[in-house]
Chain A
Amino acid sequence: EIVLTQSPGTLSLSPGERATLSCRASQSVSSNYLTWYQHKPGQAPRLLIYGAYNRATGIPDRFSGSGSGTDFTLTISRLEPEDFAVYYCQQYGSSPLITFGQGTRLEIK
């Protein structure tokens, strides 16, 4: 059974800083099937990155994804106030077919 482990659990940064969020899989994941979402309280999760590094429509270029195999990273180059949220990685393909990481909370320092 595949497990996605996100780190850190909470990341405290200030606007303007760079955020680096990690998603590590217990077994190899196809890059095509690694997705990142942003989730704010009371809102629907928002698609950010699909295929490990492809920005979804309308996503600012300060968001970027990278990685392969078992290690993936979401980077936010310069944090804006609206970027503080919980971020989830998600994989498709390994058993269970669809799994999410436990999330990284990005909070204002």
Chain B
Amino acid sequence: QLQLQESGPGLVKPSETLSLTCTVSGDSISNSDYSWGWIRQPPGKGLECIGTIYYSGSTYYNPSLKSRVTISVDTSKSQFSLKLSSVTAADAAVYYCARHRYSGSYRWFDPWGQGTLVTVSS
């Protein structure tokens, strides 16, 4: 059964770079039917897709975050990572990683990790 687990610092200082890693177990991160995504949920707000990455390294970034986001993949470790630079209080959120499944002409996120809370504070 596929499982995803986020890891990384729970506290980041303003103007610094947020770094998170998602470890994938139970399936191959190199499967061409999937990409891998980061989604966040600020306190009291809805879900926002940050971006996705294929095992090949091909990425999609949300245009609103594109200038600050880097998503990378390490297939040897079955991990993909998120870096978000120049963070502010607005970047405080629960960050989720998820598999973006391609099945025929359908697309969906499933499963998701449990999420990790990131606070931005000095």
User: Which A residues fall within an 8 A CB radius of B?
Assistant: 30, 32-33, 35, 37, 39, 43-47, 50-51, 54, 56, 88, 90, 92-93, 95-103
Contact = CB atoms under 8 A, between A and B. Distances in A.
A99 B106 contact: no
B110 A56 contact: yes
Contact of A98 (B49, B105, B111): B49
Contacts of B60: 97-98
Given A88-B47, A100-B46, A100-B47, A95 B63 contact: yes
Interface string B89-104: 0000000101010000
Interface of B: 37, 39, 45-49, 52, 60, 62-64, 96, 98, 100, 105-115
Given A96-B62, A100-B46, A44 B115 contact: yes
Given A45-B98, A100-B48, 15 more contacts: A32-B107, A35-B107, A44-B96, A44-B112, A47-B109, A50-B107, A90-B47, A90-B109, A96-B62, A99-B49, A100-B39, A100-B47, A101-B46, A102-B45, A103-B47
B110 A47 contact: yes
Contacts of A101: 46
B63 A32 contact: no
B107 A45 contact: no
B50 to A, nearest CB: 9
A99 B109 CA distance: 12
Contact of B46 (A33, A35, A88): A88
Contact of A44 (B46, B100, B106, B114): B114
B49 A45 contact: no
B114 A43 contact: yes
Contacts of B47: 37, 39, 45, 88, 90, 100, 103
Contacts of A43: 114
